[in-house]
A and B are shown apart, each in its own frame.
Chain A
């Protein structure tokens, strides 16, 4: 059995206008959804938008993906990966 090391694609949305974090996340999930599901890509979204930490995980989870939210200094890092 071979283990795939996923390519991490990172987006820094800190300080951007609402609802940039959710729009960017949805756009990138739709663009890479097949590769995220097979485990070859992982999205990492850095945001300071508190609302995005609810809306992004909800949208990603509903699309069958795994989501993790972690606080990093003054921002939140949302990781979207294969479930």
Chain B
């Protein structure tokens, strides 16, 4: 790895994470809430902003590809679709609603002082480490149920250039976006300080996602680092057992960094490798960006009195998300902001699982958790 690569990835990650954390806090851009509110309150307002984010990212990615800015297309770490994407998506859907936020939502809410999110983060680390115990079985299931080997995206499956399906979907999405614009349903009345309308947040986040893809070679992703931290904590308690787990020895990331040309490798093992270099700064950036936003608005305050039932729900939800994001593999941010915009088959199956999972989670949180 060249001397320029580590500081480049560190600064890029901090800036992208910081920007995402700030924007998400200002607009309360909660990806878990978008799916939860659809089932719990029959509200599609937030989900529309997610559609805008996906459509905008899809268009920007394709534009960048046409300009030759995306030499890695599809991006690294994507594999062929299998049943595990669907199962992972379903479990993730339940977990994110029970935790009160997804893997990124947990970070930006933690940054603004949420105690519940601290429990969710603890669950995420535990769940990521727990997955290592079931990795051989999940790997075998994934291999046995692989669909369309060698085909990673819908355009590859159809044997067409990505421009055709992307342009078609962009036109269809634009018709709906224009209709909602004419109905005046993009803007919502604001009562909070420093509010950023979610549609603006969606557009900014799609730009952040694009910069990540161009500069790092991949869209934003953070959950392999949760496995790293979980594995490190496990090594302190059960060192010999952790070292014997095949999952922590795997090196799924192996690519040439498009900007610096460095050959980067890394995996979930508790060592400082390329995964740590790419993802840790993003994690820290999101927490700091959100904390900065909250502090500027005088809304940074740690709550001590939280019902135990809600803390337990966040912990259980965090464990579910931790396990699910390794089964899937990867989290909702990776699939929604990265995979779906390039029509990755894995991401489509993940979302197909996420919907019933979020429905189940919504049912549980309203009947069992919040009483």
Contact = CB atoms under 8 A, between A and B. Distances in A.
Contact of A48 (B101, B299, B307): B299
Nearest to B100: A17
Interface stretch (B170-178, B186-194, B250-258): B186-194
Contacts of B191: 53-54, 57, 69, 76
Contact of A15 (B28, B116, B189, B195): B116
Nearest to B29: A51
Interface string B104-116: 0000000001111
Given A48-B299, A71-B192, 6 more contacts: A16-B116, A19-B33, A24-B370, A55-B37, A73-B301, A76-B191
Nearest to B309: A17
Given A19-B40, A20-B310, A53 B100 contact: no
Contact of B33 (A15, A18, A69, A75): A18
A10 to B, nearest CB: 15
B192 A53 contact: yes
Contact of B195 (A50, A55, A57): A50
- Size range of the chain B interface in the assembly: 35 or more
Interface residues of A, number: 25
B41 interface: yes
B182 interface: no
A22 B41 CA distance: 10
Contact of A23 (B114, B189, B314, B366): B366
19 contacts: A14-B303, A15-B114, A15-B115, A16-B310, A16-B370, A17-B310, A17-B370, A18-B33, A19-B37, A19-B40, A19-B41, A23-B370, A49-B28, A50-B299, A51-B30, A54-B188, A54-B189, A57-B191, A58-B188
Q: Chain B contact residues: over half helix, strand or loop, or mixed?
A: loop
Contacts of A50: 25, 28, 192, 195, 299
A2 interface: no
Contacts, number: 81
Nearest to A24: B370
A3 interface: no
B201 to A, nearest CB: 12
Nearest to A61: B189
A5 interface: no
Interface string B30-58: 10110011001101000000000000000
A58 to B, nearest CB: 8
Interface string B179-207: 00000000011111101000000000000
Give the most central of B43, B113, B188, B299: most A CB within 10 Å.
B299
Interface string B231-246: 0000000000000000
A14 B304 CA distance: 10
B144 interface: no
B101 A74 contact: no
Interface in A1-49: 14-20, 22-24, 48-49
